[in-house]
Amino acid sequence: MSSQPQPGFLLIVQLHHLQAMLQLGAIVNPLTGKANPPNLDKARHELALLDILREKTAGNLTDEEDDILSRAISSINEAIDASFGDD
């Protein structure tokens, strides 16, 4: 039996959200035990990917999927604002 999560839409959202938060230093990197130095460009890249995902899946998501995607995008935007202000 595989220990890998089942592939699906929510896993894609979770992976990009996690990468953005790692790039912002908002969460501890599990490989180093330390927060990464903030990298706004990489975090914005992950955010852009989620924005594209939202655009391309508009009208085709369940309420739960849409809510989770919206919350992930909002969370990243809030973390960017907290880390970088109006950059």
Q: Report the predicted TM-score, pTM, of the whole model to 2 decimal places.
A: 0.88
- Check residue 1 and give its pLDDT: 56
Report residue 72: phi and psi, to 5°: -65, -45
Mean pLDDT of the chain: 93
Per-residue pLDDT at 54 exceeds 70: yes
Quick: pLDDT tens for 40-50: 999 999 999 99
Per-residue pLDDT at 85 exceeds 80: no
Q: Taking the alpha carbons of 54, 57, 63, 68 in that order, is the dihedral positive or negative?
A: negative
**Which pLDDT band holds residue 26 (cuts at 50, 70, 90)?**
very high
